[in-house]
Amino acid sequence: MYEKARDLAECCKDYSSVGNIIAWMAELRTGREYWKGALDMYYEALRMHKLADDTEGQANDYLCIGQVFFDEYNLTEAKRYCNKSLKIYQRRALENIGKIYSSQDRFAEAEKNLRTALEIQIRVKASVGQATALDALGLMYLKQNKLEDAKYCIERALQCHKLRDDIVYQAYSIQSLAGVAARERDNDGAVALYKTAYDMHGSVADLNGQGSDLDSMAEFYYCQAQYDDAQKYWQQALKIAQKSHILYLLGKVSYDMRQHSQSREYWQLSLQKSSEIEYSMCEGSVSERLAELEIISHNPGHAIELCERANQAYQRADFSIGQERVLASLAGLYLDQETPRAWHQPKRPPPVSLAGLTSQSEGGTGVTDTQPTIPESTSITQGTPDDVQERERTSSPLSPAPPDNLPSDRGKGKGKARAW
């Protein structure tokens, strides 16, 4: 249908409509992680809007291109396109720049941009913009564990969405409130809110929204160490959308359940998919975790290859913390190749000096005060083979495991100039 509408608009030389249709087609692609194809379509939409001298359309295209780069965790490019939009469409661009700062934990700059965006939206009486800015502020406060501020902003956003009868955005706000309830240790309330959000997204056939709700529920159970439930909900989310970061999370929970072969399978699929769609942040995280498995399997050569791949991916994503972590792991692996498994060799006691021994036939008492003794701080531990394997795993150069740096899908909406 979109293709037919585009053809008709081109016949009428309505380039602004052609640009809008192409942008909507691109948005469908982003929901399925077809980012490379989506970028090409957004660039085409931008060209059409320039032909039509449609400045608002151009600003929207810049925001959408920035959205794709933000999803890929390429924050440098995301901010560059937001700044392009800022010159045309200030209030929306300020909101997205605030979200970029929030994802980098630069909360003071994030709050400044988001509050400015909110003030402009209130001044021009844009109800949609007010609600999305309040949602963004609430999520930023939630990251800082400022639960009262987060709840206040999100509830205000929810009221705005109800006035407009926007089911999709209402569901996302309810999902955010579930996150607040989880932080308040109201587990029953959090689960009920997650299920409400899931049902609301289902009522308007929003598969992306349902996938995000399942992802959030799985993360909730994972934080409660209820790994079976977390695995179940991530598997359901995977059926809705074969997303690389969902595969990564399934590998993570399988690893924590000591299902190493299954975690390897999930991570290899995630690595393949993230490489295909050029999702550098996910590619780096998965490569790091696969390298850890290679260390456990005593394959340092493969571990080095994966760490180098992770370093290159983090470099593309401009993620310096990940690069520093991987380079430290590589240094340990190269050192291990020079002195194989040196850190696992037990320390031997110093040799006994013969000068400290006397003959009993000469009236001596045997071993003198120079006899070697075990220091009081030294303890000899024993354990099962599983304990030994666990100690080897945790003492590898890749320990501790890399944190989850992947951006979430939460907060995505529909329609033109959607909020991030």
Which region among 52-61, 269-278, 290-299, 319-328 has the lowest average model confidence (pLDDT)?
A: 52-61
Model pLDDT for residues 381-417, shown as the tens digit of each residue: 444 444 434 444 444 434 344 445 554 544 444 333 4
Confidence band, pLDDT 50/70/90 cuts, at residue 45: confident
Specify the higher pLDDT residue, 410 or 147.
147
User: What span, in angstroms and rounded, lies between the C-alpha atoms of 322 and 300?
Assistant: 20
Q: What is the pLDDT of residue 240?
A: 86
The kind and range of the H/E element at 280 are helix 280-296
Q: What are phi and psi of 357, to 5 degrees?
A: -105, 140
Q: What is the pLDDT of residue 97?
A: 86
Model pLDDT for residues 259-314, shown as the tens digit of each residue: 999 999 999 999 998 888 778 888 999 999 999 999 988 898 999 999 999 999 99
> Cα–Cα distances in Å, from 33 out to 27, 40, 333?
10, 14, 34
Confidence band, pLDDT 50/70/90 cuts, at residue 377: very low
pTM: 0.66
Q: What is the pLDDT of residue 391?
A: 40
Question: Among 304, 256, 329, 250, which residue's Cα sits nearest to residue 282?
Answer: 250
Q: What is the pLDDT of residue 60?
A: 78
Q: What is the pLDDT of residue 54?
A: 72
Which region among 18-22, 30-34, 43-47 has the lowest average model confidence (pLDDT)?
A: 30-34
- The whole-number average pLDDT for the span 322-342 is 79
Please determine, for residue 4, whether its predicted confidence score (pLDDT) is greater than 80.
Answer: no
Q: What is the pLDDT of residue 173?
A: 96
DSSP 140-175: HHHHTT-HHHHHHHHHHHHHHHHHTT-HHHHHHHHH
Model pLDDT for residues 199-215, shown as the tens digit of each residue: 999 999 988 899 999 99
CATH architecture of 1-88: Alpha Horseshoe (1.25)
Specify the higher pLDDT residue, 128 or 220.
220
Model pLDDT for residues 75-134, shown as the tens digit of each residue: 788 888 877 777 666 667 888 888 888 888 889 999 999 999 898 888 878 788 889 999
CA dihedral 119, 123, 128, 130 (to 10 degrees): 20
User: What span, in angstroms and rounded, lies between the C-alpha atoms of 4 and 152?
Assistant: 45
- The whole-number average pLDDT for the span 178-193 is 95
Please determine, for residue 21, whether its predicted confidence score (pLDDT) is greater than 90.
Answer: no
DSSP 71-102: HTT-HHHHHHHHHHHHTT-HHHHHHHHHHHHH
| Residue 185, phi-psi category: left (phi > 0), alpha (psi -120 to 50), beta (remainder) | left
Q: Which of 58-62, 70-74, 332-336 has the highest mean pLDDT?
A: 332-336
Q: What is the pLDDT of residue 101?
A: 87
CA–centroid distance for 23 within its chain: 25
Please determine, for residue 375, whether its predicted confidence score (pLDDT) is greater than 50.
Answer: no
Percent of the chain past pLDDT 90, that is, above it, reads 40
Q: Domain residue spans in the chain?
A: 1-88, 269-340
Q: Is 367 helix (H, G, I), strand (E, B) or coil?
A: strand
